[in-house]
Amino acid sequence: MREISGSTALVTGASSGIGQAAARMLAAEGVKVILAARSEERIDALAEELEGATAVACDVGNAAQVRALFEHVRERHGALDLLFNNAGVGYFAPFAESDREEWRAQIDANLYGVLYCTQEAIPLMRDRPGAMICTVSSVAGRHGMQGWSVYAATKHAVVGFHDALRRELGPEGIRVSLIEPGAVHTNWGFNVPPEKMKKRRDELEALNSDNVARVLVEAFRQPANVNWQELLVMPTKQAYP
């Protein structure tokens, strides 16, 4: 495995769930972590907990805020070894009854956020051995799910984007990886009753945030010439989306 201590990582959606777990695991490996999320209070508290971490409040769907985030990375670190695109939004509704503002929120966070952050990251990753762009997609990026049509559309777009990006950046030695989780015990599902989500996840013995974060860390620790391109991570009992 590659030594990752001393490298620099940016984690979006770091205020809770998978992002928070990933930040903790990376920091435990000696990685200098930049925490980004809309919740300034939460990431400031996490930055105090993690040695060498810094926090920048950012809505990844806002291009100006993303630009300011990467200016911080550039000024403080000069380069970037890992971008973990984790921030995302999901709303449940039959498409015919869905809210167009919720469409926009999902597209802004799940797609534009990935595009903005990735484009800003690439110049900081060139000539960095083992550099990696890793994004959390979803099993919904492979299979449509009833009631999650717009969410699934954003995740299918993310899969296609990474497939093309891999072909562009691979010759430069920049790895492009996707993690596609199934059911996870997180606060995901903004308009779904918590008891309904909990029942479904309990039935499946859903993954926890650490399960997914560990996949990220192990993918990043692979030798620079090894790219775990697509990682579908499912609870054993989940046989369908």
Strands 230-233, 32-37: parallel, antiparallel or unpaired by DSSP?
unpaired
Q: Which of 91, 112, 116, 151 is catalytic?
A: 151
Measured N-to-C along each axis, helices 63-77 and 113-125 cross at an angle, to the nearest 10 degrees, of 20
151 tagged catalytic: yes
Around Cβ 188, how many Cβ atoms within 10 Å? 18
Q: Check: CB of residue 140 under 8 Å from CB of residue 179.
A: no
Around Cβ 214, how many Cβ atoms within 10 Å? 14
- The residue assigned the tokens 């799910």 is 145
Q: How many Cα atoms within 13 Å fall on the side-chain side of residue 9?
A: 34
The torsion angles phi and psi of 192, rounded to 5 degrees, stand at -100, 130
How far is it, in rounded angstroms, from Cα 129 to Cα 158?
Answer: 24
How far is it, in rounded angstroms, from Cα 15 to Cα 45?
Answer: 9
Q: Check: CB of residue 133 under 8 Å from CB of residue 83.
A: yes
How far is it, in rounded angstroms, from Cα 77 to Cα 177?
Answer: 23
Q: Check: CB of residue 210 under 8 Å from CB of residue 21.
A: yes
**What are the catalytic residues?**
151
